[in-house]
Chains A and B, each alone.
Chain A
Amino acid sequence: MLSLPPVQKLLRQLPAGSAGQPKPPVGGDTAEEVTSPVLATEARQPACYSALRADELRPLAGPEPVVATSTGPLSRHDDLKEMLDSNKDSLKLEAMKRIVAMIARGKNASDLFPAVVKNVACKNIEVKKLVYVYLVRYAEEQQDLALLSISTFQRGLKDPNQLIRASALRVLSSIRVPIIVPIMMLAIKEAASDMSPYVRKTAAHAIPKLYSLDSDQKDQLIEVIEKLLADKTTLVAGSVVMAFEEVCPERIDLIHKNYRKLCNLLIDVEEWGQVVIINMLTRYARTQFLSPNQNQESLLEESTEKAFYGSEEEDAKDAKAEAASLAKRKPYVMDPDHRLLLRNTKPLLQSRNAAVVMAVAQLYFHLAPKAEVGVIAKALVRLLRSHSEVQYVVLQNVATMSIKRRGMFEPYLKSFYIRSTDPTQIKILKLEVLTNLANETNISTILREFQTYIRSMDKDFVAATIQAIGRCATNIGKVRDTCLNGLVQLLSNRDELVVAESVVVIKKLLQMQPAQHSEIIKHMAKLTDNIQVPMARASILWLIGEYCEHVPKIAPDVLRKMAKSFTNEEDIVKLQVINLAAKLYLTNSKQSKLLTQYVLNLAKYDQNYDIRDRARFIRQLIVPTEKSGALNKYAKKLFLAQKPAPILESSFKDRDHFQLGSLSHLLNAKAVGYQELPDWPDEAPDPSVRNVEVPEWTKCTSREKRKEKVEKPFYSDSEGESGPTESADSEPESVSEESGSSSSSSSSSSGSEEEEEEEEEEEGSGEQSEDKEEEEKRPKRKEKEGSRKAAPGSPSEEEEEEEEGVKKAKKKAAQQGRKGHAETSSEEASASESSSSGSDSGSEAEAKRKKAPPSSRAGPKEISLLDLDDFTPPPPQPIPSSSIVSTSLVTDLEGLTLTDTSLAPAMLSPAFSTVRTYELLHRMAGEGLSVEYCFSRRPFPGDPHMVAVQIQISNNTDAEVKSLRVSEPKPLSGMRIQEFPEIECLAPGDTASVVMGIDFCDSTQAANFQLCTHTRHFYVSIQPPVGELMAPVFMSENEFKKEQGKLTGMSEITEKLTLPEKCRSDHAIVQQVTLAANVGRVPCGADNEYRFAAKTVTSGSLVLITLERREGAAAQLTVNSEKMVIGTMLVKDIVQSLAQ
């Protein structure tokens, strides 16, 4: 490209096509553009963009390489495309920079999509980043092409580096292409259980993105949210609450279990998350706790002050409410959780982030007892020193608060004084606050301050000040006269706005008590000589007319004067003169009759038709004539009706029904997506819902705590107490206890007990933030501990309560807790009873299983048939009292020649006896020869890649069947069949059992072959269930997790299912799963999770199964496997098996 021949340059400059669409250049150097099918869309490039020259962009893109300039004034897009297609990263980068600059300026760069998207897999991290920027911007417009990039992100999702995983998820979820919704869903689900909290945070961010793209995914997303809400890391908390607020704010029940945790973590959450969490918790608290002020209302309410603001109706209403609350008054005790919230948010008032301070302030305003709300004032006043936008928002909220809780801000009165340099909108808000704060004691200071403001150059502000004075005057009777006098003085102001505002305010004030103010009316009457502002003159005339009875002597005189100057007046004044005349005529016709007629006559010939109309109308109405209608009688009532005094009140009154600090509050209108702040409930909902009972795997314990627990003797507690905090699914415990008591103590640390131990520890864990390292180490350590010591007992409830950080609330909460525990424990007891009776055999089996390991070690040497080569070696760290005993191993052993009856136990026999047999050849079809097969699940001796199929041949004929053999196997490509040795002779009624090996190549395709006897050939086929294509693998929990981490994304398949009644016990689940597939159990820390692992026989790819039990019968099955087909089928099979 650098050495573009001049001819080709010219070629490119040629106008291309009639529509101005550039055709692909003829030059050979652009061959790649032609060959690339992706580039077909190039032809659609809009012509207008070629108008922008490359050199225009140069300053934006920084120093340009020589290449770009050398191409000169070519069409910029070709130029960029070439750069993108080049092999040099620097060129690509340059091109991407210029494209991003275009995007930033709002220029359309969408026609470059094909050229850009190709670079998504670029190794250069900078280019990649910019390509991501581009993709996110334009993917929505070019959905088909955007799909090309998806696989790159999917790869990225599996990257070992958490940042790459996170950024892949970020971009993938930002591409708004509906077709990839399932992929996004998968990615989010997977990322939600990522080891890295940063990736989990990104997953939380992705949730609202997906939701906005496809709201049908809500249910699934809520599950992810639920999972993330349980996360213990501060990094995740804010983001997931954000997602919660956007996706399912109505699911307040999801918060219960996490409430205390959120409260405790709050201080460590990053500031943006704090805002979101606090706002959400405010709403939560409003639904869950009782109003702290319900009883003190009457005591603390500033009743005297209230009179100024509240209308009488409101007072009456309050009184009623008070009476009602008094009637059912009972001592109010704040819920300890309520207190916890208030206590934990208080320190955040010191945050440097104004949004956090505001969030806490609104929380206190809405939730705290009246006596405590005061603490927020200081912090809010501090915010007034911030940027003017911050001041604006804070002042709006202070204005609302100061109406309800005036006392709170009174000490800071001076902080609201106005500087001449403040922007007008700030000035007006400060004025509002000052007015709200005014009371008898500080009014003189405030009025003095107002006097300064009135002389301001900012006339809007002056007008607002006058209104403020008016409001002060209405609210505080003491200063009403002073204010009035001051306002009257303002009537002589030069500024029309000021005068008009003053007159309006005076008018309002006078309307409240006209009788006492005839003096002022008189004074204003005198002013008519001086005041020139028409609006003011008109207002004065209206006043005199309205209250002409209070100034009987002056009014006619004013009319006389006005009549004299009538022709020179402004229109609005003329109209008021007519009004005045009419009113005087009605009240004092003797003195004013002639004047009125004069005025009406003048008006009759006025130039303005409004005035002429008015004159005609009034004349007809008031002057009685023969023709005058019925209205004449009512003229006085019409004109001198009692006019209600306008109410001067703050525009911020009652704004607090919006959650403070919200956009809706600021706009005083409901914004989209605003969540109403609910009223306090009358009865507090059950507080025990917040008791955390289900242990979380992610919790971590400090070492000391664990020690403490571990040292407790395991058997010291009675059964009822030992598992108080466990949910009903704790059969393993009871089962193992039974068996443990009969077995030696050394063998008591079996897998199930260890599970329990872990669980206990987790319950005891505090709310410390997650420590990944420790988490990783833990299982190992635990295993050691498990082997060293007897399993721990469970902690007492009190301890738990302490650790939950509710010390102060201990007493009450403990009581509640106990209640809750009692319930669950009794439930559990009954459950375990029933299950233990139902599964006696199971418990025996447990015992057997425990005994099995030593023999499994010894096994290989004694039993020649057992080919251990196929087994994955045992876990790296040898565990003496091996806790990892896989059922399948037992099955293996059992299936061998072990004749010891104690080792052919009842529990295993179901597992084995129910090994399904399949018919290979029916008796009828086989002319008396029936053949059945089953998968013995033993490794095939000859070839470890073969599945052993045990074939049972029965001769139901009455003749001998000779030379039974397999012939002409027709395996599909790659499939191999190892025939069984020929059976020479099978006597009638006899049954022979042989083993053959088939390599199914990890597919469920049937293996076809012929079964031959000496007389016949039968075409038969063996189709393996997917679960038989694998062999169990032993691994530790850690290994399992590690491997699972690698097998995410597309290779993870998740399915939800409901466990049937009989399939809820541990061993039933294990049994059903192992029945469905030849897998080995992996120990698991959580008691509600079951893990299994296996490898496919042929290729040795890992298959990991996780079954997680949820509340009730719900469960979730996850299969991770590279072989997606196998995974999918396996899920189906297991679900089916469990459903039986």
Chain B
Amino acid sequence: MIHSLFLINCSGDIFLEKHWKSVVSQSVCDYFFEAQEKAIDVENVPPVISTPHHYLISIYRDKIFFVSVIQTEVPPLFVIEFLHRVADTFQDYFGECSETAIKDNVVIVYELLEEMLDNGFPLATESNILKELIKPPTILRSVVNSITGSSNVGDTLPTGQLSNIPWRRAGVKYTNNEAYFDVIEEIDAIIDKSDTKIFNLIFNSVEESDNFCVSVASVKKFHLPLCCYLQNPRLLDDVSFHPCIRFKRWESERVLSFIPPDGNFRLISYRVSSQNLVAIPVYVKHMISFKENSSSGRFDVTIGPKQNMGKTVEGVVMTVHMPKAVLNMNLTATQGSYTFDPVTKVLTWDVGKITPQKLPNLKGIVNLQSGAPKPEENPSLNIQFKIQQLAISGLKVNRLDMYGEKYKPFKGVKYITKAGKFQVRT
């Protein structure tokens, strides 16, 4: 399936190559570079490129292109998903998936790739198993290694691979079982202005508000079957599970029953549809205007929390991609700080915490290129925020049952609501 893999950095250097079948020359990447040039923006490089003899399927992660070479028919998602899994594994191992991290650990990277794929078909992709085969580098270990001359390959052979449960090692046992659930919900929304008038201060129509809620359960130190009861599971419109969850029980009882893998993992992802009207926790008042035939415009944005929450909205950051005609911005922020990058035309306003008493406001003058026509579109505002101790969908982890042990396991649940792709059109 996957013939070869090339890692390419943003400047177009191939800094790592790995072949699982016969060797494919680096020149195959020329087709990729061509497409990259054509696309201008990195995001627009088509993920699948057809060349006379090969197909290139690529992903872009953390400023690295993972370009895989395919020779025969294969579901493209299969490859894409796998490449992302590779990137995740690097992240997991080295803390970051950057060019330097990969170059510094090139041998480990190579060993990982060797284990993850056999003849182009995934072999071991679960980090639990991989970590047993190849130990992740730590500072201590690298010091020890340089002295003793040993490296990161596991001495003992793993047994987990041989169970029928690929995500779990065999023989995990802890004296203390602790389970931590992080319920992280993200709100995706596009908030439209109600009509096309530019000087409209009130926005009222919520065009879309999809709430994607992601529960990352970091069930550490656990080796027993767990049963997790949710308070109102009917809320969930659509769910996807980690393979450890027993689907049958969910279907019949809406109970999450699973034997947790070791370490952090995403237990379920769910979606609460916009039918269950979920309140948007913030509102934005904005007035952005460019005057005809003048080289300036006005910019005035205020962010405020909806009152019904009772929790503070923190970590608010607003980013705006300004039109190309904008030269510079002269703004004053009542709270936080703003930066404007004249090259990329991106305005970033780091607001921080919102206090309802004094709403943060950013106001000022926009300098336009003289002579250039007035931009016809107002930029959309992308907003990030975070609310602790709140799951906006109303989901709760009610109870946690454990089998095979008499004492009650320690259970910690943390709720966070975040902005996902939260966009306000102006």
A: which residues have CB within 8 A of B? Answer: 59-63, 65, 88-91, 93-94, 97, 100-101, 103-106, 125-126, 129-130, 132-133, 137, 140, 161-164, 170, 173-174, 176, 196-198, 202, 205-206, 208-209, 212, 233-235, 239, 242, 246, 267-268, 270-272, 275, 279, 347, 350-355, 357-359, 378-379, 381-382, 385, 387-390, 392-394, 414-415, 417, 419-421, 423-425, 449, 451-452, 455-457, 494, 661-664, 666-667, 669, 671-675, 769
Contacts and interface: CB of A to CB of B under 8 A. Distances in A.
Interface stretch (B234-242, B362-370, B384-392, B407-415): B234-242
B80 interface: yes
Interface residues of B, number: 100
A137 B110 CA distance: 12
B238 A62 contact: no
Given A270-B166, A457-B324, A661-B77, A60 B106 contact: yes
Given A208-B119, A457-B324, A663-B75, A352 B243 contact: yes
A494 B22 CA distance: 54
Nearest to A107: B17
A351 B164 contact: no
A129 B151 CA distance: 11
Given A423-B43, A663-B48, A61 B240 contact: no
A211 B210 CA distance: 49
Contacts of B166: 235, 270
B414 to A, nearest CB: 21
A170 B75 contact: no
Contacts of B110: 100, 103-104, 133
A357 B241 CA distance: 11
Interface string B165-188: 010000000000000000000001
Contacts of A414: 207-208, 210, 274
Contact of A126 (B41, B150, B373): B150
Given A388-B43, A423-B43, A378 B380 contact: no
B21 A97 contact: no
A63 B143 CA distance: 9
B44 A424 contact: yes
B80 to A, nearest CB: 5
B73 interface: yes
A817 B311 CA distance: 65
A275 B75 CA distance: 8
Contact of A675 (B73, B241, B266): B73
A399 to B, nearest CB: 14
A133 B21 contact: no
Given A104-B110, A267-B247, A390-B80, A59 B103 contact: yes
B66 to A, nearest CB: 10
A769 B44 contact: no
Sorted nearest first, the 3 A-B pairs with minimum C-beta distance are: A90-B149, A673-B72, A423-B43
Contacts of B73: 662-664, 671-675
Nearest to B269: A352
Given A97-B107, A414-B208, A352 B266 contact: yes
Name the prevailing secondary structure of the B interface residues: mixed
B157 A161 contact: yes
B232 interface: no
A382 B238 contact: yes
Contacts of B16: 104-105
Given A130-B107, A359-B75, 10 more contacts: A90-B149, A137-B23, A140-B22, A208-B119, A279-B75, A385-B188, A394-B77, A420-B380, A673-B72, A675-B73
B111 A358 contact: no
Contacts of A419: 190, 380, 421, 423
A63 B243 contact: no
B74 A663 contact: yes
Given A104-B18, A421-B421, A202 B118 contact: yes
Contact of A350 (B26, B47, B82, B241): B241
B254 interface: no
Interface in B30-58: 41, 43-44, 46-48, 50, 55, 58
Nearest to B149: A90
Contact of B153 (A125, A209, A239, A272): A125
Nearest to B151: A126
Given A65-B149, A419-B421, A452-B192, A355 B324 contact: no
A196 B162 CA distance: 8
A1129 B367 CA distance: 94
A457 B378 CA distance: 9
Contact of B321 (A106, A275, A420): A420
A443 B103 CA distance: 53
Given A105-B15, A133-B111, A272-B121, A663 B377 contact: no
A530 to B, nearest CB: 15
A389 B80 contact: yes
Given A104-B17, A209-B119, A456 B75 contact: no
B182 to A, nearest CB: 16
Contact of A61 (B80, B107, B382): B107
A382 B271 contact: yes
B123 interface: yes
A471 to B, nearest CB: 22
Nearest to A660: B75
12 contacts: A88-B149, A97-B107, A205-B119, A233-B164, A270-B122, A354-B80, A382-B269, A394-B77, A449-B207, A661-B76, A663-B73, A673-B71
Contacts of A669: 50
A354 B47 CA distance: 15
Instruction: Select the residue from A62, A414, A423 with max chain B CB neighbours within 10 A.
Output: A62
A97 B152 CA distance: 11
A654 B33 CA distance: 31
Nearest to A137: B19
Nearest to B120: A208
A916 B155 CA distance: 57
Contact of B161 (A94, A163, A390): A163
A101 B269 contact: no
A355 B106 contact: no
Contact of A353 (B50, B76, B81, B162): B81
B162 A162 contact: yes
A212 B210 contact: no
B70 interface: yes
A162 to B, nearest CB: 7
A449 B207 CA distance: 10
A424 B73 CA distance: 26
B142 A62 contact: yes
A392 B155 contact: no
A103 B26 CA distance: 13
A665 B330 CA distance: 50
B119 A347 contact: no
A62 B146 contact: yes
B106 A423 contact: no
A242 B118 CA distance: 12
B75 A662 contact: yes
Nearest to B6: A106
Contact of B121 (A212, A239, A358): A239
A101 B74 contact: no
B59 interface: yes
Nearest to B40: A424
A60 B48 CA distance: 31
B78 interface: yes
B323 interface: yes
Nearest to A419: B423
Nearest to A770: B164
Contacts of B118: 170, 202, 205
Contact of B81 (A90, A354, A388, A663): A354
B162 A198 contact: yes
Contacts of B76: 393, 661-663, 666
Given A100-B110, A202-B118, A387 B80 contact: yes
B148 interface: yes
Nearest to A412: B273
A351 B47 CA distance: 22
A633 to B, nearest CB: 50
